[in-house]
Amino acid sequence: MLAVADTSGLLALFNRTEPEHDSVAAAANACGLLVISPLTLTEVHEVAGVRAGRDVADAILRTLCARIEASRVAIAPTTSRTMSSSLRVRGRYRDLDLDLADAVAVVVAAEYRTEVVLTLDRRDFRAMAPLTDHRAFRLLPDDL
């Protein structure tokens, strides 16, 4: 199974004190491939740095890089088309006040033809519809 990883899902994956860590880790391990946008990587690094310090943030990034080398994680290319589509998603869901990383995750999911998102951001991803012919997003770990 291929899933797009959202910031909240990745932060829970790397934070063993997160109450949902175990279920997120099980969901991530069930995926053959996690796809991450560069914006999500940046947001994960920034949030982890604020919460736990630079060394922890760098360790998370090193771990993700190792998993990229092992072909368990892929970095989605972010093109001008990706960004333009993301701005349209933000406009469509103006009431959600989506951050750009979430909007990019929606577009990346469409580019990879998946409706599966590793996230704890249930409010936003349950409210949005995929840009593909899927009826709704399948959220991990909830919908495993």
Distances (CA, A) of 70 to 34, 82, 133: 12, 26, 31
Token pair in block for residue 60: 């998370």
Q: What percent of the chain shows pLDDT beyond 90?
A: 95
Tens of pLDDT, residues 122-138: 999 999 999 999 999 99
For strands 2-5 and 33-36, give the pairing.
parallel
pLDDT at 134: 97
Residue 12 scores a pLDDT above 90: yes
Question: CA angle at residue 54 from 51 to 116, to 5 degrees?
Answer: 65
The pTM of this model reads 0.95
Sign of CA dihedral 112, 102, 41, 17: negative
Query: Tokens 């469509």 correspond to what residue?
Result: 92
Residue 102 scores a pLDDT above 90: yes
How many angstroms separate the CA atoms of 116 and 99, rounded?
Answer: 19
Residue 85 scores a pLDDT above 90: yes
Tens of pLDDT, residues 21-78: 999 999 999 999 999 999 999 999 999 999 999 999 999 999 999 988 888 899 999 9
Q: How confident is the model at residue 14 (pLDDT cuts 50, 70, 90)?
A: very high
**Residue 47 C-beta-side C-alpha neighbours within 13 Å:** 16
Q: Is 103 helix (H, G, I), strand (E, B) or coil?
A: helix
What domains can be seen in the chain, in order of their start residue? Answer: 2-140 (3.40.50.1010)
